[in-house]
């Protein structure tokens, strides 16, 4: 009588556990066999590690460059809103741009300075000093209420 393949005995079941080279099928190992030709050489593993490190460092700098570029774009949009809302001249916008660049730094995620409340307040006052007096008063009042017209867009 012939048994179905379901009942066939596995080769590992016929081998004694004390036989040399015995390995259960579910015991995984990094090496598929005892042959050293399957393993990476020292030089290959160093090159492989260097490639991985180079990719990670490149991704870090690319991400930082993209966030810096994005924050620069947002800063320019903010300056355009200030120009439109407070009728600023080119020289005033250039002075505010310089103040913003000094205060916020490069704008990258990892190299962004943190500021406390007093520093933020003095920053707003410094910006308002570059504006005409009536616009400066409106600017500071808008900043206290965080007006959506000059703040970040909500959509």
The pLDDT assigned to 155 comes to 38
Tens digits of residue pLDDT in 65-117: 888 888 889 889 999 999 998 989 999 999 999 998 888 876 666 666 777 88
User: Is residue 51 one of the residues assigned to a domain?
Assistant: yes
Domain-located, residue 11? no
Report the number of distinct structural domains present in the chain.
1
Task: Please spell the DSSP secondary structure of 77-108, one letter per residue.
Answer: HHHHHHHHHHT--HHHHHHHHHHHHHHHTT--
Could you give the CA distance from residue 108 to residue 71 in angstroms, rounded to a whole number?
A: 8
Domain that holds residue 52: 42-145
User: What is the Cα–Cα distance from 129 to 141, expressed in whole angstroms?
Assistant: 14
pLDDT-based confidence at 17, cuts 50/70/90? low
Share of residues in the chain with pLDDT > 90 (%): 31
Candidate ranges 13-27, 100-114, 135-149; pick with highest mean pLDDT: 135-149
97 falls within a domain: yes
Q: What are phi and psi of 152, to 5 degrees?
A: -70, 145
Identify the sign of the CA torsion 115, 118, 120, 126. Answer: negative
């Amino acid at each position: 009588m012939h048994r179905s393949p379901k009942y066939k005995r596995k080769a590992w079941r016929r081998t004694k556990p004390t036989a040399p080279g015995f390995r259960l099928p579910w015991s995984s190992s990094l090496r598929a066999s005892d042959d050293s030709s399957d393993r990476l050489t020292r030089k290959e593993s160093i090159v492989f590690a260097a490639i991985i490190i180079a990719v990670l460092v490149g991704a870090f700098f690319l991400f930082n460059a993209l966030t810096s570029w994005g924050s620069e774009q947002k800063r320019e949009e903010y300056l355009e809103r200030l120009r439109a809302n407070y009728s600023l001249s080119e020289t005033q916008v250039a002075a505010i741009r310089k103040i913003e660049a000094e205060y916020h730094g490069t704008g990258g995620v990892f190299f962004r300075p943190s500021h406390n409340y007093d520093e933020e307040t003095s920053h707003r006052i410094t910006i308002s000093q570059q504006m005409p007096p009536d616009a400066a008063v409106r600017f500071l009042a808008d900043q206290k209420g965080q007006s959506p017209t000059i703040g970040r867009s909500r959509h």
